[in-house]
């Protein structure tokens, strides 16, 4: 099948590359010229394990262009829109890029063309209907269907999530459009593609569900899923605080709860909270949608509040142990919003750096791959020092904060760490270190609810 993907960000690139890997011919449209030339040379400019490998394997079936290629577009049965929908100041999703993408696509489509336009960008409920109404009248001589096809990929696991999804959701008004989406995804639905070598885990899972809904329901599936995952984390974080008060261990509680198949073990890891480019933006946008429609959605508001409070609690915990933070030196290990990504957008770690600096601390921060992005958000100064080498970040500090659970941290030589820090004090904001081993080495260890 010939497919055009508009947008060469995380979602567009992963979708385009994976669809070409499973056998389709894909044209990816990316406006940014610097990004485009890098892509043409095989450089993705994003850190996404395995994606460059798939790009090399399917290079002959992928083309890149910096604007919609008329010929390729008119030869495409499927046009996927995967442009960004960043948050506006009021929390609502900004649809400027989406409208621009639609205008460009519609103006390039020849008459009598038959195609399906799938919106993969995360958009508020009703957007598909609104676009169908706005642009549909311009397309009376075309047979173009608009469907909603949300994505559920996680950064750092985007290839796996695209090739081995739990479900593919299609919100459509027309049976032919559903048929076309089913055909496009058929290698993934039937798992008939060659397994990439780098994927080793999780391949035995059941084949994905193919769920057909209305466009509105599909749009809401996306927000409701992300908000639910966010509130699941906030829930365990609040239970973690209760664990500290009553002397229970949140890891045991999470295991005891999560082994109930109705609850599930995933997203019950307590810590300094959720961040990234999706949960904060999507919870805000969902709250805005609920406000516009007079629906309260108090549970999502509570999840957001808990997510903020947990950082306050963590900083207060550091303060109550170390005393006034003015002039104290603090090592921050991990700056990305989670491991396996260099993305620092709305990262809880970056938020903590900010809060610590406001309290007068001197932060020595490190991360395996996110330093460059961190520098762009919080420039290096006499208050924030970035170190490539984790042991340099640890030298002479009054305490160590684990803010992202990179596997590197549990492999540190803690004998050496104990010799170079000023105080053997560790706050594990991701509950990823071995408390007993550290206490055995003479560290004071403080996790979250542990």
Binding site for ligand UGA (CB under 6 A): 122, 151-155, 226, 229, 233, 267-269, 271, 273-276, 278-279, 282, 337-338
- CB distance 284 to 91 below 8 Å: yes
Q: Coil, helix or strand for 213?
A: strand
Q: Which is nearer to ligand UGA, 139 or 188 (CB)?
A: 188
Alpha carbon distances (Å) from 95 to 52, 75, 121, 220, 265: 29, 27, 10, 16, 35
Which structure tokens are listed for 330? 């603090």
Q: Taking the complex as a whole, how short is the minimal distance between the CB of residue 216 and ligand UGA, in angstroms? A: 18
- Do the bridges between strand 384-386 and strand 362-366 make them parallel or antiparallel, or are there none, so unpaired? parallel
CA-based max dimension of the chain: 76
- Give the DSSP letter string of 287-350: HHHHHHTT---HHHHHHHHHHHHHHHHHHHHHHHHH---TT-EEEEE--SSSTT----TT-HHH
Number of alpha carbons in the 13 Å side-chain half-sphere of residue 163: 28
Least distance in angstroms from the C-beta of 366 to ligand UGA: 17
Alpha helices in 46-191 (DSSP H): 51-57, 70-74, 96-108, 127-136, 158-163, 175-184, 186-189
Question: Strand, coil or helix: what is 88?
Answer: coil
Nearest to 116, CA basis, from 172, 165, 63? 172
Taking the complex as a whole, the smallest distance from the CB of residue 301 to ligand UGA amounts, in Å, to 18
CA distance 333 to 401: 6
Q: What are phi and psi of 256, to 5 degrees?
A: -60, -40
**CB of residue 175 vs ligand UGA: minimum separation in angstroms?**
27
CB of 202 to ligand UGA, least distance (A): 14
Q: Which of 243, 278, 399, 432 is catalytic?
A: 278
Alpha-carbon 132 to chain mean position: 28
Shortest distance in whole angstroms from residue 150 CB to ligand UGA: 8
Do residues 25 and 15 lie in contact, with contact meaning Cβ atoms separated by under 8 Å?
no
Any idea what DSSP says for residue 247?
T
User: Is-catalytic flag, 278?
Assistant: yes
What is the Cα–Cα distance from 375 to 284, expressed in whole angstroms?
26
SS3 at position 448:
coil
Mapped onto helix, strand or coil, the DSSP state of residue 51 is helix
3-state secondary structure 337-362: CCCCCCCCCCCHHHHHHHHHHHCCCE
Contact yes or no for 326/359 (Cβ under 8 A): yes
Closest separation between CB of residue 346 and ligand UGA, Å? 8
Q: How far is the CB of 20 from ligand UGA (least distance, A)?
A: 20
Question: Which residues does the annotation mark as catalytic?
Answer: 278
């Amino acid at each position: 099948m010939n497919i055009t993907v508009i947008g060469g960000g995380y979602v567009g690139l992963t979708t385009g590359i994976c669809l070409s890997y499973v056998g389709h011919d894909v044209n990816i449209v990316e406006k940014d010229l610097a990004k485009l030339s890098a892509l043409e040379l095989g450089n993705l400019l994003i850190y996404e394990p395995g994606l460059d490998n798939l790009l090399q394997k399917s290079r002959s079936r992928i083309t890149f262009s910096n604007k919609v290629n008329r010929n390729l577009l008119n030869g495409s049965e499927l046009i996927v829109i995967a442009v960004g929908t960043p948050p506006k100041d009021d929390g609502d999703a900004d649809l400027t890029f989406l409208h621009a993408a639609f205008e460009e696509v519609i103006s390039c489509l020849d008459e009598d063309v038959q195609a399906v336009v799938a919106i993969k960008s995360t958009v508020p409920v009703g957007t598909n209907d609104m676009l169908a109404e706005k642009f549909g009248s311009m397309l009376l001589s075309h047979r173009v269907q608009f469907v909603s096809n949300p994505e559920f990929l996680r950064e750092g696991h985007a290839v796996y999530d695209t090739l081995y999804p739990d479900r593919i959701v299609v919100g459509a008004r027309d049976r032919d459009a559903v048929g076309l989406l089913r055909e496009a995804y058929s290698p993934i639905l039937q798992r008939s593609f060659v397994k990439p070598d780098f994927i080793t885990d999780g391949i035995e899972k059941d084949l994905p569900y193919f769920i057909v809904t209305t466009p509105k329901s599909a749009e809401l599936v996306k927000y409701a899923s992300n908000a639910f995952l966010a509130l699941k984390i906030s829930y365990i974080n609040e239970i973690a605080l209760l664990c500290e008060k009553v002397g229970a261990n949140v890891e045991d509680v999470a295991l005891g709860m999560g082994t109930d198949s109705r609850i599930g073990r995933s997203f019950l890891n307590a810590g300094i909270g959720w961040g990234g480019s999706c949960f904060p933006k999507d919870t805000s946008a969902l709250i805005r949608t609920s406000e516009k429609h007079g629906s309260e959605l108090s549970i999502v508001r509570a999840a957001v509040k808990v997510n903020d409070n947990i950082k306050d609690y963590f900083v207060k915990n550091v303060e109550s142990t170390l005393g006034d933070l003015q002039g104290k030196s603090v090592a921050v290990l991990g700056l990305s919003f989670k491991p396996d990504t260099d993305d620092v957008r709305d990262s809880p770690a970056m938020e903590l750096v900010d809060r610590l600096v406001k309290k007068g601390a001197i932060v020595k921060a490190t991360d395996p791959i996110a330093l460059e992005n961190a520098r762009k958000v919080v420039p290096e100064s006499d208050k924030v020092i970035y170190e490539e080498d984790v042991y340099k970040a640890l030298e002479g500090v009054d305490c160590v904060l684990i803010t992202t659970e990179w596997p590197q941290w549990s492999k540190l030589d803690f004998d050496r760490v104990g010799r170079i820090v000023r105080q053997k004090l560790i706050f594990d904001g991701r509950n990823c270190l071995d408390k007993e081993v550290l206490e055995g080495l003479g560290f004071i260890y403080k996790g979250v609810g542990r």
